[in-house]
Amino acid sequence: MIRTTAAFSSFSSNDIEGSKRFYGEVLGLDYEETMSGLQLSLPGGGRVFIYPKDDHEPATFTVLNFAVEDIDAAVDSLNAQGVATKIYGDDEFPSDARGIVRGGPELGPDIAWFRDPAGNVLAVLSDV
C-alpha cells in the first residue's frame, strides 16, 4: 500500500489561455495559475490540474463530469455562451435537439457532453 496525502486528476491542453477563460468564465470555476499550468478547484473540494502540451491530442473519453440539479438549465447556460452540447451523432448516443441524452431507472442519469477549448470531452449530468 502507498501512503498518499492527496489525490487529483490531470489532463492536458494546447490552449491554456483559452482554458483559463473557459473554466473560469464559462464554467465559473476557481483556478490558480501555477508555473506549470492551471489548478482547478472543483465543487465539493476536488482538484484537477491542467497542464500545457503543445502536441496535445484531445481525449476520446469524458475527462470531467459536472453533476447539476437542473440539466436543462445547465445546457441552456452552456448553449447561451456558445458551447455546443450536441457533439455526438444520434447513432452513438440518441439525444434531444439540445444534445441531452435522457436516462432513466435502467439507463442512468440525463447527460450532455461538450468540449473544452483543447477539445477534451466534458459532461453535465443530472444529480437527481
Fold that domain 9-126 belongs to in CATH:
2,3-Dihydroxybiphenyl 1,2-Dioxygenase; domain 1 (3.10.180)
Amino acid at 59: A
Q: Are strands 62-68 and 121-126 parallel, antiparallel or unpaired?
A: parallel
> Position of cell 444529480?
127
Strand partners, 126: 68
What pLDDT digit, counting tens, does each position of 10-43 carry?
999 999 999 999 999 999 999 999 989 999 999 9
Q: Is the pLDDT of residue 128 over 80?
A: no
Strand, coil or helix: 29: coil
Distance CA 37, CA 51 (A): 5
Spans of all domains in the chain: 9-126
Determine the average pLDDT of the residues in 43-72. Answer: 95
Strand, coil or helix: 11: strand
Higher pLDDT, 106 or 24: 24
What pLDDT digit, counting tens, does each position of 81-101 carry?
999 999 888 888 889 999 999
Distance CA 27, CA 98 (A): 18
